[in-house]
Amino acid sequence: MSAPVGLSPVESFVLAEADPEAALWEITAAWTADGDEADRVQAVPLLREAVIALAGYGFVAVHDFPLRPADWKQEIPVPADGVKAATANVQSWLWRPAGSSLLTVSITDAAVPWL
């Protein structure tokens, strides 16, 4: 996917939140101004599409941490073509208790001019 001419407001928001790195649940909480779980669940499809697009542009990197709290040595990069599947579970976008996995998004050097 080539770089966009412009970013959507949701893509811009996600990019700003991912600077330098954020868990998916943190992005959802910020988008909903710490709204309740129903608000967060409703926001997931919109935020997910933005993360998928940004990963496709090469503007963000997605990482999976199989166990929370995160051990940085166990970070598993999610390839851009795997982001759609990796972010499909709504639970990945909600608060994750200790002992569960954690998905994070971080900006890449390609995104810096868009910040």
In angstroms, the CA 54 to CA 61 distance is 9
pLDDT at 1: 55
pLDDT beyond 80 at 35? yes
Read off the pLDDT of residues 52-111 as tens digits, 9 standing for 90 and up: 999 999 999 999 988 767 666 788 999 999 999 999 999 999 987 777 788 999 999 999
> What DSSP designation does 89 have?
-
H/E element, 56? helix 37-57
Average pLDDT over residues 15-29: 94
In angstroms, the CA 41 to CA 75 distance is 25
pLDDT at 70: 64
